Amino acid sequence: MLSDRIQVLSESMTIAITALAQQLKREGKDILGFSAGEPDFDTPHVIKDAAIKAIEEGFTKYTPVDGIIELKEAIVDKLARENDLHYTTDQVIASNGAKQSLFNLFQSVINPGDEVIIPAPYWVTYPEIAKYSGGIPVIIETDDKTAFKMTPDQLKNAITPKTKMLVLTSPSNPTGSVYTKEEIEEIGKVLEGTDILVASDEMYEKLVYHGTRFTAAASVSEDMFHRTVTINGLSKSVAMTGWRFGYCAAANKDLIKAMKKLQSQSTSNVNSITQIAAIKGLDGSADADIEMMRQAFEARCDEATSLFNSVSGLSVVKPKGAFYLFVNHKEIEPDSMKFAKSLLENSGVAVVPGAGFGSDGYFRFSFATDIDTIREGVRRIESFIENYDKR
């Protein structure tokens, strides 16, 4: 009964494990959840107030598919002000989360057999939507020895005549690694003279630590500006995961038109109230809240990293951004599915196995939760490891 297309698609592992942890909690089990990819903070008041006003004023109807003009202007202004990227309003489109932006993009550019280069560890969704779009994911392996960053040579070797797109995620989910401006320039040089697109997922742009500087991929050269499709949103930076807002910017107006056409036949516009709220997340009104959350994540990042690095058998590269640790547990157990399952069943700690991100022998631990829960989580993981062989 089911289409061939849907059968190649796997469910999002991050969402599945988080749902399982929540179900176990509801059943009364003592579960600590570190699998969710969302901030524990509430959406800032300035954003909520704008939404409440929009409801009261009756801003509750359909809008243009790609977003109201005020929202598109706010996206254009944000990209110019913060990233030195200069687009017009017909080069941007608002969607129901960056996930839909990515889905629209892959569906609009991938033909059957096209190759999509995805450095691992990768966010769970990329290979799935590449396959769903008829594409072939080409995975470049990286590990903690290079802080999970792909080298220009690795990229060069992965390119074939069928390569259509490279996915870049900086800061990275799940490792928190961040490419420097120079590293992105090097990547850009490898791509020069090809028709390869870059999908630059910049969701964690605002969450960078210890003086790390974020660089927008499209900003490093004229060539990169033209080949890069910038994907961003407010889920992580302004704690708006449930509101469903993301956006995409591209120099190629026909690509934006294609994405709009697809969206017009699927979800239509982003919720009208979310659009009004999102303007406040983009225009600088929430900057103090963003900085408060960033500082809290930075403090947790420091503490969680040193706690894990003091556990015998585990090691972690300190992240430069995002809110995840990608912890190496190969000394204890090479199979990440087995490790994470046993940890959940025996110690009530939910983490996401590295296999879901294409890198076995690791687990992803989200530190987007309070510090006491983090300490208790690491304590449980340590005692789980001490007893691991006996099980």
Residues near ligand PMP (CB under 6 A) are 37, 97-99, 123, 169, 173, 201, 203, 233, 235, 241, 246
- Binder of ligand GLU out of 124, 218, 248, 374 (CB under 6 A): 124
C-alpha distance from residue 6 to each of 57, 96, 373 (Å): 41, 21, 38
Answer positive or negative: Cα dihedral of 111, 230, 120, 362. negative
144 interacts with, out of ligand GLU, ligand PMP, none, CB within 5 to 8 A per kind: none
The site partner of 219 among ligand PMP, ligand GLU, none (C-beta below 5 to 8 Å per kind) is: none
Q: How far is the CB of 25 from ligand GLU (least distance, A)?
A: 17
Q: Which is nearer to ligand GLU, 276 or 293 (CB)?
A: 293
Beta-carbon contacts of 151 under 8 Å, excluding residues fewer than 6 positions away, are: none
Q: How far is the CB of 346 from ligand PMP (least distance, A)?
A: 28
For β-strands 246-250 and 228-233, DSSP reports them as antiparallel
Residue nearest to ligand GLU (CB): 37
Q: Does 317 bind ligand GLU (CB under 6 A)?
A: no
Amino acid at the residue 371:
I
Interacting residue with ligand GLU among 15, 136, 273, 337 (CB under 6 A): 15
Q: State the binding string over 68-107 for ligand GLU (x if CB under 6 A, else -).
A: -------------------------------x--------
Quote the CA–CA distance of 199 and 189 in Å, as a whole number: 16
Q: What is the layout of strands, in order, in the sheet containing 136-141?
A: 92-95, 246-250, 228-233, 197-201, 163-169, 115-120, 136-141
What sign results for the dihedral spanned by CA atoms 43, 49, 55, 60?
negative
| Binding region for ligand GLU (CB under 6 A) out of 119-127, 156-164, 223-231, 293-301 | 119-127
- Closest by CA to 224, choosing from 269, 183, 168, 184, is 184
Between residues 276 and 304, which has the closer beta carbon with respect to ligand GLU?
Answer: 304
- Separation between Cα atoms, residue 179 and residue 168, nearest integer Å: 9
Please name the amino acid found at residue 379.
R
121 binds ligand GLU (CB under 6 A): no
108 binds ligand GLU per the rule CB under 6 A: no
Chosen residue from 37, 127, 137, 171 binding ligand GLU by CB under 6 A: 37
d(CA 95, CA 338): 37
Distance CA(216)–CA(206), nearest Å, equals 11
Binds 135: which of ligand PMP, ligand GLU, none (CB < 5-8 Å by kind): none
Q: Which is nearer to ligand PMP, 131 or 236 (CB)?
A: 236
Nearer to ligand GLU, 188 or 353 (CB): 353
Q: Minimum CB separation from ligand PMP for residue 161, in Å? A: 28
Helix axes 371-386, 287-309, angle to 10 degrees: 20
Does residue 173 belong to the site contacting ligand GLU (CB under 6 A)?
A: yes
Residue 233 interacting partner from ligand GLU, ligand PMP, none (CB closer than 5 to 8 Å by kind):
ligand PMP
12 binds, among ligand GLU, ligand PMP, none (CB under 5 to 8 A by kind): ligand GLU
Q: Which residue is nearest to ligand PMP (CB)?
A: 97
Binding mask 269-288 for ligand GLU (x = CB under 6 A): --------------------
CA 362/CA 378 separation, integer angstroms: 15
Sites of contact with ligand GLU (CB under 6 A): 12, 14-15, 37, 99, 123-125, 173
